[in-house]
Amino acid sequence: MINESIKVWAVFDSGISPVAMDWHNRVIKFDKVILKTDSKRGKTKITNMVCANNSVVYELEYNHQNFLWTLKKIMPIV
């Protein structure tokens, strides 16, 4: 598990749609959002997203209270 804070470019139109992230000074663009779920951690709303590009799936977490993004996991597409 990674659990690193990251910067994410996202569209907040009718929900949250991540476009790309900055991870270790590398910009990684997402082709699609595969799954999006909301949960609560105490009173804080947390949105978990699984995003993919050509060869890798990324699990991201967005905290609605402090507006921070966390990279939770990286999984290769097999």
The secondary structure of the chain as a DSSP string is ---EEEEEEEE-SSS-EEEEEEETTEEEE-SEEEEEEEEEETTEEEEEEEEE-SSEEEEEEEETTT--EEEEEEEE--
Output the pTM of the full model: 0.91
- Which has the higher per-residue pLDDT, 54 or 52? 52
Percentage of the chain beyond pLDDT 70 is: 99
Phi, psi of 25 (to 5 degrees): 60, 30
CA dist., res. 36 & res. 49, Å (int): 4
Section 44-59 average pLDDT: 95
Confidence band, pLDDT 50/70/90 cuts, at residue 34: very high
Section 44-49 average pLDDT: 97
Question: Average pLDDT over the chain, rounded to whole?
Answer: 94
pLDDT attached to residue 1: 56
pLDDT attached to residue 57: 97
